[in-house]
Structure 1
Amino acid sequence: MGTVLSQAVSGGQADLDVVAARRRRARLRAVLVVIVLLAAFSVWAVIDGGAQLYLQRFFDGITNGLLYGLAALSLVIVFKATGIINFAQGPMAMLGCYLALTVLEMWPMPVLLAIVIAMVVSGLGGAVLERVLIRPFDPDNHMAIIIVTLALFLGFNALAALVWGFRPLSFPSPFPQGTADAIEIAGARLSYQAIGTALLVVGAVVVLELVLNRTRLGLSFRCVANDVANSRLLGIDIGRTVQFSWALAAAVGTLGACLIAPSTYVDPGFMNKILVYAFAAATLGGLDSIRGALAGGLLTGLSVSLVTGYLPGVGSELGLVVGFAMIIAVLQFKPAGLFGNRAMERV
């Protein structure tokens, strides 16, 4: 009997290894296809407009892509814990940005400190939202929770307009952003603001990885994200873990909004456009992959920058169309994304 059971377990493990190997090969093929397409387009772009113009658009795409990836990260965090898309993530980040701006106006302080304060308050607000408006619903009733997030989307936009009005406000950059504050590479300008933003985003991702891998709540989050039923059997507090994911996503979203704001204006709807790119990044990278969110953001930023910059008839005003096209293409040809895992169900 013991021998038969051992053989069964070994056979099951072998099947799982085969499935995992197939997934890795499929993921590698998809990534290689994307790299080849991007490289081919880049070669054509250099021939068409020169290396300097291409390099400038490449820098812009990478900078924007990191910010899209950070916004996508906030979507992925909630999705991994709950299986739903938080459509209110953009307005929540927008409110956090307004909060940082208000803190700066009330108490003069370094911009980074105001952003950290806004992140802490936003995290607490996200935790309260989950406890009051999300947890009372059945976790398996995804439609009801999504409707709640859509209601929050509309409510937060209206709240921001009521409190701060529709007048566009400028947000100071935590990094130097003068015309002379840049490094010139082959004729293209790489600003200190872009460099500082990239370093801050990478640092935030590293901190997030440490939180999820080295803290007790982070380990509980990873367990819940993998299997809710087994997590409950292990004694993990599911409600508290999901609340942690909402708080973490709110803080990450606020950081992203505060880094995006210096290059645009702050108004009640300024994060709605970014939310589309964040959806594209999360879909491309995989809605259940944290690292995939950042990779998807980079690919989305590069794609939007190059396509709107080089294809005739596609200007910057059609950037959202490129984002929607990427979402549709990924859902059509690779629904799990480049780094996501396809769900397996017993039928």
Structure 2
Amino acid sequence: MAIPITGPRSRDGDVLAAGRRRSATRGLGVVVALLAAFSVYAIADGGFTLYFQRVIDGAMNGIVYGMVALALVLVFKATGVINFAQGAMGMVGTYLAFTAADRWAVPLVVAILLAMVVSAAAAAGIERVLIRPFDPGNHLAITIVTLALYLALNALAALIWGFDPRGFPTLFPTGGEDFIAIGGARLYYTSLGTALVVVAVVVVLQLTLARTRLGLAFRCVAAGVEPSRLLGIHIGRTVQSSWALAAAVGTLAGCLAAPTTYLDPTFMDKVLVYAFAAATLGGLDSIAGALVGGVVVGLSIALLTGYIPALGGQFGLGCAFFVIVAVLQFKPAGLLGRRSQERV
């Protein structure tokens, strides 16, 4: 008589999943409690309208940080490595979209889609030429390559397009009444459209990686290269797919961020630091966590720098650094990430 072995394993999996949910709930609860406590002080200090406007601005900025963090998570899920060149790759993709729209009069939506395709193809080539020759388990060597790639892409962009700042057009309506008034605060169409696009991308990627063979391959390769080979997973193609997908997402993130600032070879550097903080806070292996972490980081920076004048506007980078250190110290898996487990 055959003895079923799926029952205990399923129960073990349920217990682990329940533990992860409880841990995520506790972490989110702490974050919400801290933000709520500071919000009481902020409303008493400057009134509800100013507070609500800063919340809107912080959340909208955070959504952009979450989009870049999403690109970092895509590579990390398949390789276990942080791609330090992600911001530079998004910057080059944004320049490609700008060139197509400005010089060749291509409609902006089409220009962005073309730039995403070209960026994905270029990232696949970079992975094949620069990343694949290294042992996938040699994370240090791959990380050093991504740092070198970051420097090379910044230099290449400066050589081709120069350092002069350029205005990047927005996908959404501007001019006149280009905002929605909510409680005395203004929610601009550009910010609202950006938020909707980012949420749609997160939902699509979450479903794709959770319910497709590609997502399963990502998780297997990140968990272990040799076991993945034994299961018949093609390591090279999986990692290459993660780089291509991340480059396309990073290019879209750059195109959404550029209209709120200016386009130059360094415009993604600060955004990338905030994205690191967002990915660390949300969980380096969590698609939804990237967006949650981005919003929390954006809100934290907007409220702290807005209501504590002594911190100054440059404290944003310090806040991002503090988030990274605190999360790695007290909750390395992040709010929604999975804790790694090893058999000993």
State if a TM-score over 0.5 links the two structures.
yes
CA distance in 2, matches of 1:291, 1:39: 22
- Deviation of 1:160 (Å): 0.8
2:230 corresponds in structure 1 to: 233
Maintained 8 Å contact 2:68/2:275: yes
2:156 corresponds in structure 1 to: 159
> What residue identity is the alignment partner of 1:205?
V
Maintained 8 Å contact 2:327/2:334: yes
- Range that drifts further, 147-156 or 171-180: 171-180
Tell me the secondary structure at the aligned position of residue 186 of structure 2.
strand
CA distance in 1, matches of 2:244, 2:237: 10
- Deviation of 1:220 (Å): 3.2
Q: 2:46 aligns with which of 39, 49, 74?
A: 49
Tell me the secondary structure at the aligned position of residue 183 of structure 1.
strand
TM-score by length of 1: 0.93
Summarize the Cα distance change of 1:211–1:10 in structure 2 as closer, same or farther, 3 Å threshold.
closer
Tell me the secondary structure at the aligned position of residue 311 of structure 2.
coil
2:18 corresponds in structure 1 to: 21
Maintained 8 Å contact 2:128/2:240: yes
Do residues 306 (structure 1) and 303 (structure 2) align?
A: yes
Summarize the Cα distance change of 1:104–1:10 in structure 2 as closer, same or farther, 3 Å threshold.
closer
> What residue identity is the alignment partner of 2:96?
L
> What residue identity is the alignment partner of 1:101?
F
Summarize the Cα distance change of 1:221–1:11 in structure 2 as closer, same or farther, 3 Å threshold.
closer
CA distance in 1, matches of 2:209, 2:120: 16
- Range that drifts further, 231-240 or 259-268: 231-240
Do residues 184 (structure 1) and 181 (structure 2) align?
A: yes
1:345 corresponds in structure 2 to: 342
CA distance in 2, matches of 1:180, 1:314: 34
Q: Kindly report the root-mean-square deviation, in angstroms, between the aligned alpha carbons of the 2 structures.
A: 2.0
Matched ranges for 1:136-285 at <5 A:
136-178=133-175, 180-213=177-210, 216-226=213-223, 228-285=225-282
> What residue identity is the alignment partner of 2:164?
R
CA distance in 2, matches of 1:135, 1:40: 48
Aligned residues: 344
- Deviation of 1:209 (Å): 3.1
Q: 2:317 aligns with which of 316, 320, 324?
A: 320
Matched ranges for 1:67-146 at <5 A:
67-146=64-143
- Deviation of 1:230 (Å): 4.0
CA distance in 2, matches of 1:334, 1:301: 20
CA distance in 1, matches of 2:10, 2:255: 46
> What residue identity is the alignment partner of 1:268?
P
Maintained 8 Å contact 2:69/2:291: yes
CA distance in 2, matches of 1:214, 1:24: 19
Maintained 8 Å contact 2:69/2:276: yes
Do residues 334 (structure 1) and 331 (structure 2) align?
A: yes
Summarize the Cα distance change of 1:80–1:108 in structure 2 as closer, same or farther, 3 Å threshold.
same
> What residue identity is the alignment partner of 1:144?
A
CA distance in 2, matches of 1:196, 1:117: 20
> What residue identity is the alignment partner of 2:36?
A
- Deviation of 1:107 (Å): 1.8
Q: Deviations over 1:205-228 (max 9, x none)?
A: 233234435655344334434554
> What residue identity is the alignment partner of 2:272?
L
Mark the runs of 5 or more structure 1 residues left unpaired by the alignment: none
CA distance in 1, matches of 2:226, 2:292: 30
Tell me the secondary structure at the aligned position of residue 270 of structure 1.
coil
Do residues 32 (structure 1) and 29 (structure 2) align?
A: yes
CA distance in 2, matches of 1:310, 1:160: 37
Do residues 293 (structure 1) and 290 (structure 2) align?
A: yes
CA distance in 2, matches of 1:312, 1:185: 26
Summarize the Cα distance change of 1:207–1:18 in structure 2 as closer, same or farther, 3 Å threshold.
closer
CA distance in 1, matches of 2:202, 2:108: 20
CA distance in 1, matches of 2:119, 2:257: 17
> What residue identity is the alignment partner of 2:144?
I
Summarize the Cα distance change of 1:212–1:12 in structure 2 as closer, same or farther, 3 Å threshold.
closer
- Percent of residue pairs identical: 63
Summarize the Cα distance change of 1:185–1:13 in structure 2 as closer, same or farther, 3 Å threshold.
closer
> What residue identity is the alignment partner of 2:114?
I
- Range that drifts further, 199-208 or 54-63: 199-208
TM-score by length of 2: 0.94
